[in-house]
Amino acid sequence: MFIIGELINGMYSNIAFALKERDKKIVQTCALEQISNGADALDLSCGPASKNPLIDLPWLVEAVQEVTDKPLCLDSGKPKVIEEGLKAAKNKTIINSTTADIEKLEILIPLAKKYQSKLIGITIDTRGIPQNKDQRLELAAVILTHAGENDFPIQDLYLDPIAMPVNVAQSQMQDILGAIHEFKMISDPSPKTVIGLSNVSQGAKLRSLINRTFLTMAVASGLDSAILDPNDKELLDTLITAELILNKNIYCDSYLEAYRKK
């Protein structure tokens, strides 16, 4: 599992404060803690409160890459903001994200190619969030077709079926898991898959339990990557154990320590 740490996000008050005060140390500490707990990459989002994401996202990029060379997942709905982040990045990058809208694909696929960035495609378009598995597959096909026609390497494309909160879209959880499974089968080579895990427990009690249960099921459905809280120790232990049971890791009595260090 490719773990993308979710905690550098302006929706969190410490990061909002760091952005306002231009306090690099807060952001850098948050980056290093997530990496020491197992993050392979870091999501960077200015959050909805940022008044100037064109300046704030490159500032986050520069602060983080002073302390790590891990890949940076540039999280914004605005292509111009993403481009400013890409310009500032020396580390590898993942664009987060394009939708299935043609206007967005026509901007973000060339941008990903120009900067040799990976790309997350979320299965959403101007009609909104899909309501079932088939709508997700339809939008995935739009993204895949556009990527293929424009010579974007499909192995660098991460399809996101949009994880919804279980307390508002309980009947869709199986559609999301089914989409993760079927995204891998609609193209050869297969695209990769990703979800924003914490979405599933937003507004619910027992968040950590819901997150780790969903993650286990998503891993069994073939999920390649997740944006999640790597500082949630039980979540990471559950992930390592799920991968053990799927025979992705070799068992030893100290497998948790062994795979945490990797």
Residue numbers of the site for ligand THG (CB under 6 A)? 6, 9, 11-12, 75, 96-97, 120, 122, 160, 163, 196, 198-199, 202, 227
115 contacts 85 by C-beta, under 8 angstroms = no
Instruction: Kindly state the smallest distance separating residue 4's Cβ from ligand THG, in Å.
Output: 9
Beta bridge partners of 160: 122
In terms of CB distance, is 215 or 259 closer to ligand THG? 215
User: How far is the CA of 148 from the CAs of 35, 113, 255, in angstroms?
Assistant: 33, 12, 40
3-state helix, strand, coil in the chain (%, to 5): 50, 15, 35
In terms of CB distance, is 42 or 227 closer to ligand THG? 227
Nearest-CB residue to ligand THG? 196
Residue 88 CB neighbours (<10 A): 18
Instruction: Kindly state the smallest distance separating residue 221's Cβ from ligand THG, in Å.
Output: 16
* CA–CA distance, 41 with 127 (Å, rounded to integer): 31
Q: Which two tokens stand for residue 233?
A: 């120790």
* CA–CA distance, 229 with 239 (Å, rounded to integer): 12
Instruction: Kindly state the smallest distance separating residue 120's Cβ from ligand THG, in Å.
Output: 5
* CA–CA distance, 224 with 93 (Å, rounded to integer): 17
Closest to 1 in 3D by CA, of 226, 258, 244, 233: 226
Q: How many residues are there in the chain?
A: 262
* CA–CA distance, 204 with 233 (Å, rounded to integer): 19
In terms of CB distance, is 132 or 249 closer to ligand THG? 132
Instruction: Kindly state the smallest distance separating residue 39's Cβ from ligand THG, in Å.
Output: 13
In terms of CB distance, is 30 or 259 closer to ligand THG? 30
In terms of CB distance, is 128 or 250 closer to ligand THG? 128
In terms of CB distance, is 197 or 259 closer to ligand THG? 197
Instruction: Kindly state the smallest distance separating residue 249's Cβ from ligand THG, in Å.
Output: 26
* CA–CA distance, 100 with 162 (Å, rounded to integer): 12
Instruction: Kindly state the smallest distance separating residue 202's Cβ from ligand THG, in Å.
Output: 5
